[in-house]
């Protein structure tokens, strides 16, 4: 067994994900199968292989740098209208700092 | 669905030019068809009639005043629900974004509307584009218009079905591991996954950023090329979009195939392929030979590791990208006593089964102590798969494979075993990892009448070559093999 119930619960906590007991059990079994399958990668020696950090080699024209110019977007009111609990110009959330 | 009602881009243009129909009447015709068929197919999640009629009226006014029309004037377009549309609901097929209306448009949508296309609405998909059958949508599965007891493929199942059923002339989908090509294959239409960086991802709600791409569905390869000519190119709003010049993809279509070398990877026909799919794809390869291509046997030795590498990288990136759905700024919020409880409950109830499974897997492979064994290993294997493609393209001009090892399956037939569903992505994830373009075109039907897709890969930014081959194949009767 590659992954325990505790592993699943720990990872779910890291991901801020509430799972039911049934979900923990289902995912544990499925992830065990998937991770066992992924083990086939150990068949290949990659000690001299560079990890792929960029999908396509950038050309000189592909520079991600641009002029640092201010652009008005004017979407604040529209964004807040779509929020679950807006308190313009803020998003309201449960209290995080005790008095 | 009768062929008499199926429109292509040139047919729309001819009808507008001759006054046979107005843009407004055309939009009305499409909404009437959607009204009739969407109840059964579930291809659309939201319609945008106000925006569509406003655009149609602009086109009709331009015609009335004798102005030159843009290249896609009046062309009805469907947009996958993971692509932002200003003011139109965009849910990614998820409960967590129910009711969300983006405050801006994706660049691909902006460009298509500038070119005269008319956005009819948003198409159903697997939740956050995670799936290969469209059964992971929180809003119910899409049915395949060719055989309604079958899945349309996924994750862009609604886009494939909308085009196949003539509920749109063209559609945008997205592809991370096969999500354009496989539904194209299952629905019997042409569907292109462009090179990574060829089409701006600005406004695409991210799943796996190093793999995600936007691309077109259409009933003809020519229409795919026409859409690509509009959406391809550098966008200052996406730093990964490439500056490579954009050819006129439509003009490139007529060139003869004489002397083109097509690579057939033996490793792709090894095991697990349905006999009828194999037979149709081999028939397709013979047709390409008849058209003047030279068949070359090639090796892609790292193919068998592609699925494992893909599901590490894609889920790792997803676990990071989907962290933003926390109930604070948009979509669903489930109340909790503390901020963390609010996050946990919102995400626990807002995400569906497959999305949670991938977040857990992705978080696991990135977590302390496992990073080297999984994520780093996956990225190294990705380099090897990209190398397989680079080496192959030194010997051949294109690579021809099946799109999917199986024809469209029945709804519910494969949902119980996620690993089995993942394994069927084998022919498409390789090209996703390598960043190269691939198209799926119909190559006949099974005895039961189910569409089979032929995939043509080209080198990075070789969309013109891929489209040229697919167009010649289609014109020579590839779909009737």
Question: Who among B342, B361, B367 is closest to A93 (CB)?
Answer: B342
CATH of residue B164's domain is 3.90.1300.10
| Same structural domain, B393 and B450 | yes
pLDDT at B331: 96
Q: Dig out the tokens for B476 from the structure.
A: 């020579």
Residue B456 lies in a domain: yes
Omega cis (within 30) before A89: yes
Q: Dig out the tokens for B471 from the structure.
A: 């167009």
Residue B61 lies in a domain: yes
| Same structural domain, B83 and B147 | yes
Q: What is the 3-state secondary structure (H, E, C) of B172-201?
A: EEEECCCCCHHHHHHHCCEEEECCCCCECC
**Which of the listed residues B252, B280, B296 is the one where a domain comes to its end?**
B252
| Same structural domain, B115 and B70 | yes
Q: Dig out the tokens for B149 from the structure.
A: 């007891």
pLDDT at B3: 44
List the one residue out of B271, B194, B203 whose CA is nearest residue B230: B194
| Same structural domain, B222 and B124 | yes
How do the pLDDT tens digits run along chain A, 99 residues long? 789 999 999 999 999 999 999 999 999 999 999 999 999 999 999 999 999 988 876 555 566 677 888 988 888 999 999 999 999 999 999 988 877
Percent of chain A with pLDDT over 70: 91
CB contact under 8 A, B419 and A23: no
A15 touches chain B (CB under 8 A): yes
Residue B222 lies in a domain: yes
pLDDT tens profile B64-88: 999 999 999 999 999 999 999 999 9
Max CA pair span of chain B: 69
Residues on chain B touching A38 (C-beta within 8 angstroms): 308, 311-312, 374
pLDDT at B1: 44
Is domain A5-42 classified as CATH 1.10.20? yes
Residue B288 lies in a domain: yes
Q: Dig out the tokens for B290 from the structure.
A: 């008849």
User: What does each C-alpha distance from A37 to A29, A89, B148, B476 come to in angstroms?
Assistant: 13, 49, 33, 42
CA–CA dist B199, B214 (Å, integer): 6
pLDDT tens profile B203-237: 999 999 999 999 999 999 999 999 999 999 999 99
Low-confidence ranges of chain B (pLDDT < 50): 1-4
pTM, to two decimals: 0.97
Residue B202: give the domain boundaries. 3-252
pLDDT at A64: 66
| Same structural domain, B154 and B265 | no
Residue B323 lies in a domain: no
Helix (H) or strand (E) holding B363: helix B353-366
Residue B101 lies in a domain: yes
Max CA pair span of chain A: 57
Residue B359 lies in a domain: no
pLDDT at A98: 77
Residues on chain B touching A52 (C-beta within 8 angstroms): 379-380, 382-383, 386, 433
Residue B210 lies in a domain: yes
- Catalytic status, residue B159: no
In chain B, helix, strand, coil percent, each to 5? 45, 15, 40
User: What does each C-alpha distance from A48 to B160, B381, B420 come to in angstroms?
Assistant: 42, 11, 32
User: For the CA atoms of B191, B195, B196, B199, what is the dihedral angle to 10 degrees?
Assistant: -70
Half-sphere exposure of A7 (CA within 13 A, CB side): 19
Check if the beta carbon of residue B145 is closer than 8 Å to that of residue B1: yes
pLDDT tens profile A36-45: 999 999 999 9
Indicate if ipTM > 0.90. yes
Total number of domains in chain B: 2
User: What does each C-alpha distance from B322 to A57, B207, B315, B355 come to in angstroms?
Assistant: 27, 7, 10, 9
Q: Dig out the tokens for B246 from the structure.
A: 């954009």
| Same structural domain, B245 and B263 | no
Residues on chain A touching B333 (C-beta within 8 angstroms): 84-85
């Amino acid at each position: 067994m590659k992954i325990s119930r505790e592993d699943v619960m720990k990872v779910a906590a890291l991901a801020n994900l509430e799972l039911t007991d049934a979900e923990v059990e289902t995912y544990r079994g499925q992830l065990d199968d998937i991770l066992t399958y992924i083990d086939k990668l150990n068949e290949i020696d990659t000690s001299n292989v560079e990890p792929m950090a960029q999908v396509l080699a950038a050309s000189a024209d592909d520079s991600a740098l641009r002029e640092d110019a201010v652009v008005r977007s004017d979407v604040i009111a529209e964004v807040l209208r779509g929020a679950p609990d807006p308190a313009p110009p803020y998003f309201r959330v449960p209290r995080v700092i005790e008095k | 669905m009768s062929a008499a009602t199926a429109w292509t881009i040139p047919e729309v243009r001819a009808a507008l030019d001759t006054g046979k129909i107005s843009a407004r009447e055309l939009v009305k015709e499409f909404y009437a068809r959607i009204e009739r068929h969407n109840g059964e197919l579930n291809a659309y999640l939201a319609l945008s009639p106000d925006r569509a009629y406003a655009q149609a009226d602009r086109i009709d006014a331009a015609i009335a005043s004798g102005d030159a029309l843009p290249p896609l004037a009046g062309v009805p377009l469907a947009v996958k629900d993971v692509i932002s549309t200003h003011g139109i609901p965009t849910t990614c097929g998820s409960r967590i974004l129910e009711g969300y209306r983006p405050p801006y448009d994706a660049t691909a949508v902006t460009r298509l509307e500038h070119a005269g296309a008319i956005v009819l609405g948003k198409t159903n998909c697997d939740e956050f584009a995670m799936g290969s059958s469209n059964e992971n949508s929180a809003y119910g599965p899409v049915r395949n218009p060719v055989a309604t007891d079958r899945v349309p493929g996924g994750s862009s199942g609604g886009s494939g079905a909308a085009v196949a059923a003539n509920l749109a002339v063209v559609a945008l989908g997205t592809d991370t591991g096969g999500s354009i090509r496989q539904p194209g294959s299952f629905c019997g239409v042409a569907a292109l996954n462009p090179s990574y960086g060829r089409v701006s991802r600005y406004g695409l709600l991210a799943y796996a950023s190093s793999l995600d791409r936007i691309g077109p569905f259409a009933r003809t390869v020519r229409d795919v090329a026409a859409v690509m000519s509009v959406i391809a190119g550098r966008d200052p709003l996406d730093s990964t979009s490439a500056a490579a010049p954009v050819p006129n993809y439509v003009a490139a279509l007529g060139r003869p195939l004489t002397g083109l070398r097509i690579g057939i990877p033996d490793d792709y026909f090894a095991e697990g392929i349905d006999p009828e799919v194999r037979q149709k794809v081999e028939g397709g390869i013979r047709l390409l030979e008849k058209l003047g291509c030279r068949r070359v046997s090639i090796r892609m030795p790292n193919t068998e590791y592609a699925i494992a590498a893909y599901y590490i990288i894609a889920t790792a990136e997803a676990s990071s990208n989907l962290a933003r759905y926390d109930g604070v700024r948009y979509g669903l919020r489930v109340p909790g006593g503390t901020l963390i409880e609010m996050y946990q409950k919102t995400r626990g109830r807002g995400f569906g089964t497959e999305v949670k499974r991938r977040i857990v897997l992705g978080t696991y492979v990135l977590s302390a102590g496992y990073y080297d064994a999984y994520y780093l290993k996956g990225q190294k294997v990705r380099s090897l798969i990209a190398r397989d493609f680079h080496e192959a393209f030194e010997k051949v001009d294109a690579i021809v494979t099946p799109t999917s090892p199986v024809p469209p399956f029945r709804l519910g037939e494969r949902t119980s075993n996620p690993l089995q569903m993942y394994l069927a992505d084998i022919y498409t994830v390789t090209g996703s990892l390598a960043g190269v373009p691939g198209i799926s075109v119909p190559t006949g039907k099974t005895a039961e009448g189910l569409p089979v897709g032929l995939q043509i890969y080209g080198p990075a930014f070789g969309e013109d070559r891929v489209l040229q081959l697919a167009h010649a194949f289609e014109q020579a009767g590839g779909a009737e093999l």
